[in-house]
């Protein structure tokens, strides 16, 4: 995967965010602990987290409630900075230190890609948008996830991923990815 894949996931997120209506902010999401407003705040904040992690600094602990304002503009600003960091020369080769351990920049970018894309799917699902997002990219992220997501990463609330959920036969690749990561795609 490359920064170009991340750019595509960011564009997908931007598109889904742009279609969220004010009366949907309290909708439940496939992320059991977040409603749409909280998911938007995570999506914006995560871009700052990724940039800070790649640049070796701690993200700001004081996060505004972006969902109460122009969250699309906030996402655009944060994702542009995140993408610039991942696109910088040597970014994929550097070691990124996270609270959960050190990893190569390329692996950290894979984490950012998965998070950005999957939460776009969550938001699309929660707001009644089409979840058939970028089939080729979804297939590539699913293949990567099948290699990277270990059973020890799965569990109840608090674990990075839920237990793999059932997925209807013939489901689109984005739905298959969501089910693999523990989302109810029905």
43: in domain: yes
173: in domain: no
CA atoms within 13 A on the CB side of 82: 29
Distance of CA 25 to the CA centre of its chain: 18
146: in domain: no
Residue 96, strand partner residues: 103
Note the pLDDT of residue 55. 87
In the chain, which residues have pLDDT < 50? none
Is residue 154 helix, strand or coil? strand
157: in domain: no
Is residue 116 helix, strand or coil? helix
CATH of the domain at 122: 1.20.120.450
152: in domain: no
163: in domain: no
116: in domain: yes
Range of the domain at 101: 3-130
Note the pLDDT of residue 59. 66
Structure tokens at 110: 């894979």
Per DSSP bridges, beta strands 101-104 and 95-98 are antiparallel
55: in domain: yes
Structural domain tally of the chain? 1
């Amino acid at each position: 995967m490359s920064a170009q894949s991340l750019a595509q996931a960011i564009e997908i997120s931007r598109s889904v965010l742009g279609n969220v209506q004010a009366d949907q902010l309290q909708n439940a999401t496939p992320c059991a602990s977040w409603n749409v407003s909280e998911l938007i705040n995570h999506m914006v904040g995560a871009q700052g987290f990724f940039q800070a992690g790649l640049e070796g600094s701690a993200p700001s602990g004081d996060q505004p409630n972006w969902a109460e304002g122009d969250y699309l503009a906030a996402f655009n600003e944060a994702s542009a900075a995140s993408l610039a960091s991942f696109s910088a020369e040597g970014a994929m080769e550097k070691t990124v230190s996270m609270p959960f351990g050190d990893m190569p920049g390329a692996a950290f970018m894979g984490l950012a890609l998965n998070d950005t894309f999957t939460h776009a799917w969550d938001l699309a699902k929660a707001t009644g948008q089409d979840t058939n997002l970028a089939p080729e990219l979804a297939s590539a992220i699913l293949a990567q996830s099948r290699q990277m997501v270990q059973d020890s990463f799965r569990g109840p609330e608090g674990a990075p991923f839920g237990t793999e959920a059932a997925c209807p036969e013939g489901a689109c690749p984005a739905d298959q990815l969501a089910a693999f990561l523990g989302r109810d795609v029905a």
